[in-house]
Amino acid sequence: MPTLSFTIIQTKLFWEDKDANLSMFEEKIMAIKERTEIVVLPEMFSTAFSMKPKQLAETMDGPTVAWMKKISSAKKIVLTGSLIIEEDGKYYNRLLWVLPDGKLGYYDKRHRFAFAGEDNEYTAGHKRLIAQVKGWKINLQVCYDLRFPVWARQQSSDTPEYDVLLYVANWPERRSHPWKSLLMARAIENQCYVIGVNRVGDDGNGIHHSGDSMVIDPLGVTLYHKQEEEDVFTILLQKENLTAAREKFPFWKDADNFRILEDE
């Protein structure tokens, strides 16, 4: 049975300072000694969670996307994380999935955090992205999406739609209990691994982030949890354990069939 390795980078971010953030992440990524296949950065990793897209947005031909391609190629990894992208006069909180050969996929954050005004500055995405690596399927989502279980729900009763549910985030410490609880719930209800990667430290608005990055197995057991501290952690996921959990407890077969009606 195949395995898949993820490296989680939980770190402080420099407020709206792309050069400082990219330099910091490059140092951390290039220092990874363990064998790893996918490296995960937090939400808006190059700027932190800013509501100034007009000043900070880049295009898909911009320097941060070029940097991601460079690092992915040099380290021979899939590199993923979200950043601010401008396209056709609109701004997106866009999660990129960058392959070592320069090819990429992307997911635009569906649920914008209206409490912080994200809905006023950014355009919502309408399509999920389920990436594939070595026979594994990974459902890519961003922060606030975690509160909306329908958007993450396995949509097939014939066979599970994906194996890993991945969230990148800038989730405040004051709401860390929902973060941890919902990550666990998403794992249990979808019978998949769940990975949540969050930042630590205070942002430019004085909001504190405790990290609480987690990896949870398909039965809801926590395999990794780091609070407050910066950390670079590599974990090897076992397809055999996933298959065994689904075969022993085939709850996914009894799920309700449904279809998400996407907005135009």
Q: What is the pLDDT of residues 77-124, one digit of tens each?
A: 999 999 999 999 999 999 999 999 999 999 999 999 999 999 999 999
Whether residue 260 lies inside any domain: the answer is no
Catalytic residue among 143, 180, 192, 226: 143
143 is catalytic: yes
Tokens at 255, concatenated: 């799920």
CATH of the domain at 158: 3.60.110.10
Per the structure, the complete domain to which residue 157 belongs is given by: 3-254
Q: Average pLDDT in the 218-235 region?
A: 98
Q: What is the pTM of this model?
A: 0.97
Cβ burial of 107 (10 Å; 0-12, 13-18, 19+) is buried
Q: What is the pLDDT of residues 148-184, one digit of tens each?
A: 999 999 987 688 999 999 999 999 999 999 999 999 9
Whether residue 47 lies inside any domain: the answer is yes
Whether residue 264 lies inside any domain: the answer is no
Mean pLDDT value across the chain = 96
Whether residue 261 lies inside any domain: the answer is no
Catalytic residue among 18, 109, 180, 226: 109
Number of domains making up the chain: 1
Tokens at 263, concatenated: 């907005």
192 is catalytic: no
Whether residue 263 lies inside any domain: the answer is no
Contact indicator for 228, 211 with CB cutoff of 8 Å: yes
Catalytic residue among 37, 43, 58, 118: 43
